[in-house]
Amino acid sequence: MLDALDLKIVKMLQKDARTSFVDIAKELKVSPGIVQARYNKMKKSGVIKGSTLILNNSVVGTMFAASIGVKAIESDLEEVNNYINGLKIENARIQSWITFGRYNISTAIFSKNLLEVHKIKQLIKQHPSVLQVAISIGNAERAFSDEAAVTAEFEALDLEKIFKV
């Protein structure tokens, strides 16, 4: 269970996951060793799963973002998801995960050109357990440019109320 100090540490890391334990300790008036121990405890227990790197797509050269919904045979979801995540297309980044709803696999693609996105869609459709594929394509920079709004949503969460601390 998280206590008030754990929640303060989490809140600071949500604002900037690169904040050093020393800076967190100064802010919270505890030792860096305490912050590190609390962080390690939360990581080991699964409360903290990792941190995220947000790329500037225009600098990296990614011009298109595509979202692909895949409907696959239920019993083969893991196999199809692993297949998609294993696709290697030059100049494209692919991330797929199992979900629920109209499509049971969601895939995000970042690519320099539409031809690569089309190739990926075709490769997904070729898998024998894939029943249906739907795609939505947009400009990569616009699709993920509102990180300030996402950050504000995280900051607005009242973690103390959620965890009743």
For 110-121, how does the pLDDT look when each residue is reduced to its tens digit (9 = 90+)? 887 788 888 999
48/61 same-domain check: no
114/62 same-domain check: yes
Residue 136 is given by DSSP the state E
Query: Residue 164: its pLDDT value, please?
Result: 52
- Structural domain count, the chain: 2
Q: Is the per-residue pLDDT at 84 higher than 60?
A: yes
Give 91's pLDDT tier (boundaries 50, 70, 90).
confident
Give 81's pLDDT tier (boundaries 50, 70, 90).
very high
- Summarize pLDDT for 127-165 with one digit per residue, the tens: 999 999 999 887 655 554 444 444 444 444 455 554 554
Query: Residue 58: its pLDDT value, please?
Result: 63
- Summarize pLDDT for 12-68 with one digit per residue, the tens: 988 888 899 999 999 999 999 999 999 999 999 988 887 776 666 566 665 778 899
Q: The domain spanning residue 11 has which CATH number?
A: 1.10.10.10
32/78 same-domain check: no
Query: Residue 117: its pLDDT value, please?
Result: 87
37/101 same-domain check: no
Query: Residue 77: its pLDDT value, please?
Result: 96
Total-model pTM: 0.53
Find the helix packing angle between 4-15 and 32-45, rounded to 10°: 90
Task: Decide: 78 and 127 in contact? Cβ < 8 Å.
Answer: no
Query: Residue 16: its pLDDT value, please?
Result: 84
φ, ψ at 111 (rounded to 5°): -145, 155
117/85 same-domain check: yes
Task: Decide: 67 and 108 in contact? Cβ < 8 Å.
Answer: yes
Query: Residue 156: its pLDDT value, please?
Result: 45
